[in-house]
Structure 1
Amino acid sequence: MTAAAPRPKVNKWLVTLSVSFGTLMGAIDISIVNVALPHMRGAVGATIEEITWVSTGFVIATVVVMPLTGFLGRMFGQKRVYLACLALFIVGSVLCGTARSLWTLVFWRAVQGAGAGALQPTEQAILRQTFPPKEQGMAMAVFAMAVMLGPAIGPTLGGWIVDNYSWPWIFYINVPIGLLGMFMVYSFVHEDPEILEQNHALAAAQRKNVDYAGIALMFVGLATLQYFLEEGARNDWFEDRAITLCFIVSMVSLAFFVARELTARVPVVNLRLFKDEVYASGTLIGAVMFAMLMANMFLLPLFMQELLGFTATQSGLALMPRTLVMMLVTPFVGKLYNHVSPRLMVGFGIVMVSLGNWFQGQLTLVSSQQDVIWAIGVQGIGFAFLFVPLTTVALSKVPRHLMSDATGLNSLFRQIGGSVGLAVFATLISHHGKIATAAVTAHVGETNAATWQRLSGLQAALQAKGYDVASAKAAALQALAGTVQRQGMVLSFEKVFLIAGIVFMAVLPLLWFLRSPAHGGPSEPVHVEM
């Protein structure tokens, strides 16, 4: 058993609060911009296709920085990396607010994303190194609330700011919060002397053998993969040459990257961490979990606004109970972690999320806000039971000095998982929508008695309002076509929600590998070479 590392005498809750500001802002900024894109488009004179680069550029920059967290932490120190990235995020936010041309805005948005990239994994590593082993569950519960709260409140907060002020303020609001976060991190976060000593030795080896080839391959591979996932659905996937080229380049680059990192003398990204089956299975389940979370956060607002007629505010309020449930349940799960096997907790979470998907699959055109709240409330419990044990047990056997490497990869897989979820389910909803609408249309024709009765009733009602015969018939046919389209989309949503639940249940076999030292697994950290 390794000796316990000496810890600075700091208030762990002050440390937690200090490093949570950056993570929360980074998580919010992934989604807050989406509601302001129409306003930005007018301000910078961009087309609908061009303005999406404001979101795509941020996500690509975030993704390519995440796996470098361990490398940067060894070279400069975790605290310095966190402060530098938070400062970069603040500067990027200010310059985004002042941008008045599309590509200037995209560039500064990428700078902002690069700053945000290291904040989440660095916070996770700092919390793991600050809290004693018996309180790791609570540490990850706090981290979970910051990560899950951001995407949930981002659209609602962004809509309120845009409605009451103007779009640059969604960026300017980051400045005072970020400066407060920097002051608190500088004042209250102190690195463990033992970890600093180990990192100094590793950094010396890194400086002599900088893995430039690995860095280049990673940047190209992740950037093209993220572009493929972000823009693929919008451009008909492999029907578009640029999307196809990005997919090929990403697969080739990432294949060479993996080969390079497994043979490099001092790899920039420590892929050998995946030798630990607990880390590998926890990270993979976490990626699928984020795919489900982001897919649901995309599909439900679309269903409520397009089919149930909710306003953006109403759909945002209908989604808030899931966030509230997660915030209420997550601390309880953190305390429960030391007493219940993580396999049982994660299994329960998977079942609850899938059950929530089944409830969502029962929604119809006459469903109320309460029906939606019930379904997402069940899911909120499930996500709370997933995030805490997954992030805790996945890192349970990782050596403390490699924690930032592990959290960087863990965060990367969650981010990629979320992008895959959005891309796949956006494509599925469109594909099944066309199939379902065609199936409904086949049963609707003027020879059908019910259809003829409906058309006659609509035509008569329109004529009573002053329409002539020809106009009334055309309007009645158009109204019927709209009804068919809506019913087809309802069937599509029902099918996709059910598919999501079934897919998530398919990861249950991975629970076999999810053993923690406190619940029957090996107590020694897995030996991982650099």
Structure 2
Amino acid sequence: MSTDTALPNKWMVTLTIMISTLVAALDTSIVNVALPNMRGSLGASVTEITWVSTAYMLSNVVVMPAVGFLSDLFGKVRFFTFSVIIFGVGSFLCGLAWNMESMIFFRVIQGVGGGALIPMSQAILRETFPPEEQGKAMGIFGMGVVLGPGIGPTLGGYITDNYSWNWIFYINMPFIILNLILISFFLKESSDRERHTGKIDYIGLILMTIGLSTLQIMLEKGQENSWFESDFIVRLAVTSAVSLILFIIWELKTDKPIVELRVLKDLSFTSATALGGIFGMGLFGSLFLLPMLFESLLGYSVMESGLALMPRSLAMAFAMPLAGRIYNFLGPKKMIFIATVLATISFYPLTVMNLNTNAWDILVPQLIQGVAFAFIFVSLSTAALMTVEKRYMFGASGLFNLIRTVCGSVGIAVFATMLENSTTINRAYMVEHIVTNNPFYTQSSLVSPATTSPILSTWFAGLSGALMQNAGSTPADLPDKTFAILSNYIDRHAAIMAYNTTFFWILFLFIVATLFSFLIRDTRPDKLKNKEDSKVIESVVEL
């Protein structure tokens, strides 16, 4: 069957699935900036409002690995259409939510639809484009995946400030309607695709749901519950570990598994997926840290923070199509090696920041990161699925995206804990060295400006004079004011040092990824020497 006949309207198919990809990716980040407004409207506490994000990610990770089974059960177009509808209904209901309970329930519905859209979109693109254009296909797909989270905070901040938080959900509706119209015209069911028959793997489904949901809740709530000092977190960890171990054993034994883990026998897929997990930790971890740095330490507003982060997202989006073209020339191994080296270099300026650092100082590092992440994403996505058999394509795509998403949650949890612990240690260290010769000194606090070392006493004297002359302070309130300024000074320096340390470990993560890049096989169609691999590649086109 010729490529031209087998792949009609491939650009309209691309437009159709890219709309789904963009809105699903957008909703992973657009809601975060609106949480303070939602908290007041829904009457939620600080702890409770975080469930708005947790509920969406929770249902995402449960659905992702099952997309292969569900697309075989219902048909890929029917399941894709159903996912778009569920996502749209969930979005509309979220905008109507009247309390926290309804919001959490509606976000779960939205997440069930959104969790299927990204892996389904990736698999459909893989089936639509011929082998020699797989890099181009993943470049296009990557634009939607990275552009959504990139513009989410800025767009969410603008909508919340100028309208209301409800519109961050309603804004999805025109795109959902357009998407459903395009699906009806341009997505067609494959006549030769093997459909699932027989019993549904309910045991695997239950074990997977319990294991992944408890894991996600543990990662989301671990920091605020002091991790394994909390019985709640310990119970979640044990439940998740036992459930996932039993799930793996069961899936490898059953004839019709809900997740086809045997695809992990494909070394190309497994090595690329593992690297994708490392990439997810670095990407999501840095996406979590940089807004906090700008807003909590450097004094940026939500909108300003979103704009400051736009260069990296835009660089990623523009570099994706270029990366797709370069893939056919360099291959995945060289591309990933070059990209991880670039990523390592780009994170170095973030390890030597100070309180005078601003968005302009890290503009070039962000641009380099954008190019590096685009190259990594395209090459990994292409290499991971290039040698996967057609019957496993949707399941493999779900598994690939699941690993990246879960590892992203792990990265956020690890780096958030590292940042907090490092800040505490840095503060204690600075206090210890600032208040030498202080008979009233305790390890964790500054007691009084009057009991500090001679050098610091001189500093207090100069500050007191400035406060009395310029701020209208009286002698009675000088001790409290000068002490508060010193304490804030120490807190800010302790925090920036902690950010430097945390970004260093992200840099180290990409050094490790550089070493792992040598395990990636060159899966370009013209480089596959194994005839069986070539047959598998050709079968992707014969749909």
Per the TM alignment, residue 189 of structure 1 is displaced from its structure 2 partner at its CA by 1.5
Alpha-carbon distance in structure 1 between the residues aligned to 2:105 and 2:529: 47
Q: Does residue 292 in structure 1 map to residue 282 in structure 2?
A: yes
RMSD value, Cα: 1.7
Residue identity matched to 1:461: A
Contact kept, 8 Å, 1:44 with 1:102, in 2: the verdict is yes
Aligned counterpart, 1:278:
268
The structure-2 alpha-carbon separation of the partners of 1:297 and 1:521, relative to structure 1 and needing over 3 Å to count, comes to farther
Match of 1:499 among 486, 505, 529: 505
Is contact 1:41–1:48 with CA below 8 Å preserved after alignment?
yes
Aligned to 1:121: 119
Measure how far apart 1:52 and its partner are: 1.0
Alignment match, 1:484: 490
Q: Which residue of 2 aligns with 1:138?
A: 136
Letter in 2 for 1:507: A
Question: Which residue type is aligned with residue 478 of structure 2?
Answer: A
Question: In the alignment, which residue of structure 2 is the partner of 1:247?
Answer: 237
User: Residue 158 of structure 1 corresponds to which residue in structure 2?
Assistant: 156
One-letter amino acid matched to 1:34 = N
**3-state SS of 1:370 partner:** coil
Aligned residues between the structures? 518
Distance 1:477 1:454 in 2: 11
Q: 2:530 aligns with which of 507, 522, 526?
A: 522
Deviates more, 1:128-137 or 1:367-376: 367-376
Equivalent position to 1:391, from 365, 371, 381 = 381
C-alpha distance in 2 between matches for 1:522 and 1:168: 54
Structure 1 residues 326 and 263: alpha-carbon distance in aligned structure 2, compared to 1, 3 A threshold: same
State whether residues 209 and 265 of structure 1, in contact with CA within 8 Å, keep that contact through their aligned partners in structure 2: no
Q: Which residue pairs with 1:184 in the alignment?
A: 182
- Separation (CA, whole Å) in 2 of partners of 1:425 and 1:10: 46
Partner-residue secondary structure (3-state), 1:10 = coil
Q: String of CA shifts for 1:393-425, please: whole Å, max 9, x gaps.
A: 111110122110110101111110111111110
The answer (yes or no) to whether the contact 1:278–1:394 under 8 Å persists in 2 is: yes
8 A Cα contact 1:58 1:113, kept in partner:
yes
**Which runs of structure 2 are paired with 1:40-119 in the superposition (5 Å)?**
40-119=38-117
> Partners in 2 of 1:102 and 1:313 — Cα distance?
26
SS at the partner of 2:361? helix
From the superposition, tell whether residues 453 and 374 of structure 1 become closer, same or farther in structure 2 (CA, over 3 Å). farther
Paired with 1:417 and 1:470, the residues of 2 have a C-alpha distance of: 54
**Residue 520 and residue 152 in structure 1: after superposition, are their counterparts in 2 closer, same or farther (change >3 A)?**
same
The counterpart of 1:457, out of the listed 462, 465, 473, is 462
Distance 1:175 1:435, change over 3 A: same
Superposition deviation, residue 239 in structure 1: 1.5
Q: What is the match of residue 325 of structure 1?
A: 315
Q: Distance in 2 between matches of 1:75 and 1:281?
A: 29
Q: What corresponds to 2:442 in structure 1?
A: none
Is 1:355 the counterpart of 2:373 in the alignment?
A: no
- Structure 2 runs not aligned, ≥5 long: 436-450, 537-543
Q: What per-residue deviation string (whole Å, max 9, x for no partner) do you get for residues 244-276 of structure 1?
A: 111110000000000000011211100011111
TM-score normalised by L of structure 2 = 0.92
Q: Is the 8 A contact 1:321 1:373 kept in 2?
A: yes
The 8 Å contact of residues 398 and 526 in structure 1, kept in 2 or not, is answered as no
Write the distance in 1 (CA, Å) between the matches of 2:415 and 2:294.
Answer: 16
Segments of 5+ residues of structure 1 without an aligned counterpart are none
Is 1:343 the counterpart of 2:333? The answer is: yes
Structure 1's 181 and 523: CA in aligned 2 closer, same or farther, altered over 3 A? farther
Give 3-state SS (helix, strand or coil) of 2:434's partner. Answer: coil
Alpha-carbon distance in structure 2 between the residues aligned to 1:460 and 1:13: 70
2: CA distance, partners of 1:18 / 1:495: 43
TM-score by length of 1: 0.95
Alpha-carbon deviation of 1:520? 5.3
Contact 2:120–2:397 (8 Å) recurs in 1 = yes
Q: Which amino acid aligns with 1:394?
A: A
**CA positional deviation for 1:467:** 2.0
Is 1:230–1:419's contact at 8 Å kept on the other side of the alignment? yes
Instruction: Find the aligned partners of 1:244 and 1:94 in 2 and give their Cα distance.
Output: 36
Measure, in 2, the Cα distance between the counterparts of 1:12 and 1:527. Answer: 22
Query: Structure 1 residue 217: deviation in Å?
Result: 0.2
> Cα distance, 1:6 vs. partner?
9.2
- Distance (Å, rounded) in 1 between the aligned partners of 2:387 and 2:174: 38
Question: Can you list the C-alpha shifts for 1:328-371, whole angstroms capped at 9, x where unaligned?
Answer: 22111100111112111001111111212111112211113211
CA contact (8 A) 1:69 1:405 kept: yes
Deviation per CA, 1:83-137: give whole Å up to 9, x if none.
1000000001111111101101100110000011110111111000000111000
The separation in 1 between residues aligned to 2:476 and 2:505, in whole angstroms, is 44
Counterpart Cα distance in 1 of 2:528 and 2:77: 34
Deviation at residue 36 of structure 1 after TM alignment: 0.9
Alignment partners' CA distance in 1, 2:455 and 2:134: 62
Query: Structure 2: how far apart are the matches of 1:226 and 1:184?
Result: 34
Closer, same or farther: CA 246–4 of 1 in aligned 2, 3 Å: farther
Amino acid at match of 1:318: A
Equivalent of residue 467 in structure 1, options 470, 473, 490: 473
Note the C-alpha offset of 1:303: 1.1
Which whole-Å CA distance do the structure 2 matches of 1:107 and 1:282 have between them?
35
1:435 aligns with 2:425: yes
The one-letter amino acid paired with 1:467 is S
User: How big is the shift at 1:40?
Assistant: 1.1
How many Å apart are 1:454 and its aligned residue? 2.0
Q: Is the 8 A contact 2:34 2:165 kept in 1?
A: yes
Instruction: Indicate the SS of the match to 1:479.
Output: helix
